[in-house]
Amino acid sequence: MKKYLLYFIFLSICISANTVLAQKNIQAKIDSLEAVLKTSIKDTSKISTLILLCGAHLQTNPNKVPPLIEEATKLANELNSQHWIAECYNTKGLFEYGKGNFSSAKKNYQEALILFEKEKNQFRMANMIYQIGILEVYTGNYAKANENFFKTLKLYELLDKKDLIGNCYAAIGNVYGRQGNSKKEEEFHLKGLNIRFELKDKYGVSASYINMGNVYGRRKMYDTALSYYFKGLKIAEEIKNQKWILNALGNIGSVYAEQKKYDDALKYLSKGLEIVENIGDKKSHATYLNTIGQCYLSLNKPAIAKNYYERALSIGVATGNKEEMRGSYLNLADLSYKNGDYKQAYDYHNLYSNMKDSLFNEENSAQMNDMQAKYDSEKQEQEIELLNKDKEIQTANFKQQQIITWSIGAGLLIVIILAFFIFRQFKEKQKANIALQSAYIEIEVKNKDITDSINYARRIQTAILPSIENLQKQLSDSFIIYQPKDIVSGDFYWFAEKGNQLIVAIADCTGHGVPGAFMSMVGNDILTQIVIEKGITKPNMILTNLHDGVKKSLKQDSTTSDTKDGMDIAIVSFDKTNYSNIEYAGALRPLWLIKNNSKEITEYKADKHSIGGAYSNDVREFTNHEIKLSKGDSFYLSTDGYADQFGGDQGKKMMTKNMKELLISIQGKTMNEQQSVLENNFKSWKASREQVDDVLVFGVRL
């Protein structure tokens, strides 16, 4: 990990169960609570309303919290309510945490925890332990932090709180990330993302996207990291959650700085800094200052950089944030060295080294591993204990059944002797039935495991696919129909921007289901390398490089390789300065153009060879078509799944000819209406028949 991301990858974890106020209109909630407050009397309902109002303001305007919590605390003490006094302590802790006052926040959380323990309120105990764990992270005590998070995880599992289990996975993953354990970091973040997708939790999905961005940022896969950060930012802005907006802005700025795009970096960092200063978030404030200082130092403006570093150090010392202090010391050491002040550089570097050793010592890492091992062991012991109890019950039932059987056997001995042959046949049949039942259960379990794994793969594939909404920001009058045959798909769409070019690809990989999905992942990664990393934007050159990349990835350039997998693909490149100028190249997938008010389709034919395939030494070249569009023109790219579907009254294929005629017939409709017509026509044509292949259709009107 390079220097910028060392200082700016935030701890992407949810703060507390009662602060998850990710709603579409928080202001409406505030207005509603304030209306209730005006009619409340001095009882617990008024205290509850005050605390809920504090929670809403924590997300939008934290400076309004102090007088509200002071009034709530006064009422709770007057009523001598242990529960509400604890809730007031918790809310004070959240406010101090948001301001970066970690010591004060921890003291309030601990007071709340003591009262919730007396109340035996396991849910709120778990919340407090979790929040204290967050503070341990910011003060550099990672082993203690994960000890708290694993304790919380056990409590949430007992309470079956799936959303909060997702929060724990995210917290544990981030601690592993800060310790450099990328494998564990990704493992826990994927667990969290899985739960949040299942719950359709926008707040949590936003956090998980940013967490996954952190994983790829640490691996220096910056374009992938940016993709996740922008997804997280979009959702955070939709739900108006400042915590995650700040998180995403800071990380986006850091990645741009790593890529030496300092103007872009300062744009996002300055936007985030303005929000931080408005809400008084000290912990984020120091992080932003350090990172902005790094940008100015890289732009050879040391005086400005020093000012930002010293401001960040001052805040880090005041709040006890060891991570930010460490970053500031390293920055000031670097600056002093470049200014020729070697003595001061040496002093700052010593302070940095001492701080680093306290954060990343071996004992800390070992304790963290012990925490997970202890959690896994205790969980296994609980499962064994339950199994033993079941076994005892089964044994008792079996003994009782034996006594009954012997009694009946003694009374019916003569009948059993006479029916011996019938009984023997019955036993043989019973054995066969038991064997069949056992085999059926085993198949059912294996089938469920396989289905669960494929469903999990679908979530990963969906997360990697680019956002259709982002494409429609560039091409507003467009649509994508994406309908996998199975749970995962061998068809995939891809787009990216490079310079003045917008590149869109529609691809059909060998096979469908799991094999096709694997190929789609390979194709997605190679396209990203070609366009984003190598800067190649000519469609025919992209296809040539993609062919070489697939052959190399699947070792098809070796005579010993037996893989014949590949893909058919169409690529279009738009000139963003004039969208009417496009270039197209295709490997077995054509482009269909319908001029405005025309009743004919012009087909730009693809080259008659695919990407990848069996071993060959050929260098495949592809034709580049330059096309001039006029306003109102439409064009379409499609895989073969739509036209190859069997259906209709006679169960025949739809055929490409009929698909083209359908496209011509709907030219008077908007692109959204065209999408609906195409989807409904496919559904009607297929009826009750099985879908034969993955379906992918892309359409755009200039």
- pLDDT at position 386 is 53
Contacts of 451 (CB under 8 A, 6+ apart): 487
Are residue 46 and residue 90 in the same domain, yes or no? yes
The larger pLDDT score, comparing residue 403 to residue 131, is at 131
Residue 318 lies in a domain: yes
**Average pLDDT over every residue of 354-367:** 54
What band does 450 get if pLDDT is binned at 50, 70 and 90? low
- The structure's pTM equals 0.43
- pLDDT at position 20 is 36
- Of the candidates 470, 529, 501, the one whose C-alpha atom is nearest the C-alpha of residue 231 is 470
Q: Say whether 648 sits in a helix, a strand or coil.
A: coil
CA pair distance 48, 359, nearest whole angstrom: 39
- pLDDT at position 149 is 92
- Of the candidates 199, 194, 200, the one whose C-alpha atom is nearest the C-alpha of residue 212 is 194
- pLDDT at position 57 is 86
- pLDDT at position 109 is 95
Residue 561 lies in a domain: yes
Report pLDDT digits (tens) over 148-195: 999 999 999 998 888 899 889 989 988 888 888 888 888 898 888 889
pLDDT at 526 over 80: yes
Lowest mean per-residue pLDDT among 23-27, 152-156, 230-234, 635-639: 23-27
**Which runs of consecutive H residues, i.e. helices, occur in 360-492?**
362-411, 413-418, 420-464, 468-474
Are residue 424 and residue 552 in the same domain, yes or no? no
Are residue 333 and residue 435 in the same domain, yes or no? no
Residue 655 lies in a domain: yes
Residue 298 sits in a domain of what CATH number?
A: 1.25.40.10
Report pLDDT digits (tens) over 382-420: 555 555 555 565 555 556 666 655 656 565 666 566 666
pLDDT at 18 over 50: no
Are residue 576 and residue 490 in the same domain, yes or no? yes
What band does 595 get if pLDDT is binned at 50, 70 and 90? very high
**Average pLDDT over every residue of 371-390:** 55
Residue 30 lies in a domain: yes
Report pLDDT digits (tens) over 180-193: 888 888 889 888 88
Are residue 489 and residue 441 in the same domain, yes or no? no
Are residue 475 and residue 487 in the same domain, yes or no? yes
What band does 8 get if pLDDT is binned at 50, 70 and 90? very low
**Average pLDDT over every residue of 352-371:** 56
Residue 627 lies in a domain: yes
Are residue 455 and residue 598 in the same domain, yes or no? no
Are residue 425 and residue 340 in the same domain, yes or no? no
- pLDDT at position 662 is 94
Are residue 481 and residue 530 in the same domain, yes or no? yes
Residue 653 sits in a domain of what CATH number?
A: 3.60.40.10
Q: Are 701 and 634 in contact (CB under 8 A)?
A: yes
Q: Say whether 582 sits in a helix, a strand or coil.
A: strand
Report pLDDT digits (tens) over 22-80: 344 577 778 888 887 777 666 788 888 888 888 888 877 888 889 999 998 999 999 89
For the CA atoms of 207, 210, 212, 217, the dihedral, rounded to the nearest 10 degrees, stands at -160
Contacts of 163 (CB under 8 A, 6+ apart): 17, 20, 195, 196, 199, 201, 204
Percentage of the chain surpassing pLDDT 90?
A: 35
Domain end among 97, 131, 156 = 97
- Of the candidates 520, 581, 575, 570, the one whose C-alpha atom is nearest the C-alpha of residue 543 is 570
pLDDT at 378 over 60: no
Residues 26-43, buried b or exposed e (16+ Cβ, 10 A)? beebbeebeeebeebeee
The larger pLDDT score, comparing residue 235 to residue 389, is at 235
Are residue 669 and residue 594 in the same domain, yes or no? yes
- pLDDT at position 35 is 81
DSSP letter, residue 529: I
Q: Say whether 479 sits in a helix, a strand or coil.
A: strand
DSSP letter, residue 568: E
Residue 63 lies in a domain: yes
**Average pLDDT over every residue of 488-507:** 92
**Average pLDDT over every residue of 677-694:** 91
Are residue 547 and residue 609 in the same domain, yes or no? yes
State which residues form the domain around 448.
Answer: 395-464
- pLDDT at position 47 is 87
pLDDT at 106 over 70: yes
Residue 506 lies in a domain: yes
CA pair distance 502, 496, nearest whole angstrom: 6
pLDDT at 527 over 90: yes
Report pLDDT digits (tens) over 306-327: 999 889 888 888 877 777 788 8
What band does 630 get if pLDDT is binned at 50, 70 and 90? very high
Domain end among 464, 491, 524 = 464
pLDDT at 440 over 80: no
pLDDT at 666 over 90: yes
The larger pLDDT score, comparing residue 597 to residue 657, is at 657
Residue 32 lies in a domain: yes
Lowest mean per-residue pLDDT among 289-293, 416-420, 579-583: 416-420
pLDDT at 302 over 70: yes
pLDDT at 528 over 50: yes
Are residue 533 and residue 584 in the same domain, yes or no? yes
Contacts of 638 (CB under 8 A, 6+ apart): 506, 589, 592, 659, 696, 697, 698
pLDDT at 366 over 60: no
What band does 369 get if pLDDT is binned at 50, 70 and 90? low
Count of domains for the chain: 4
The larger pLDDT score, comparing residue 624 to residue 178, is at 624
Domain end among 338, 361, 384 = 361
Report pLDDT digits (tens) over 598-615: 889 999 999 998 998 765
DSSP per-residue letters across 189-246: HHHHHHHHHHHT-HHHHHHHHHHHHHHHHHTT-HHHHHHHHHHHHHHHHHTT-HHHHH
CA distances to 87, 272, 287, 308 from 263, in Å: 45, 14, 18, 17
- pLDDT at position 362 is 44
- pLDDT at position 616 is 57
- pLDDT at position 17 is 31
The larger pLDDT score, comparing residue 337 to residue 384, is at 337
- pLDDT at position 33 is 81
- pLDDT at position 15 is 33
| Mean pLDDT, the chain, whole residue set | 82
**Average pLDDT over every residue of 88-102:** 89
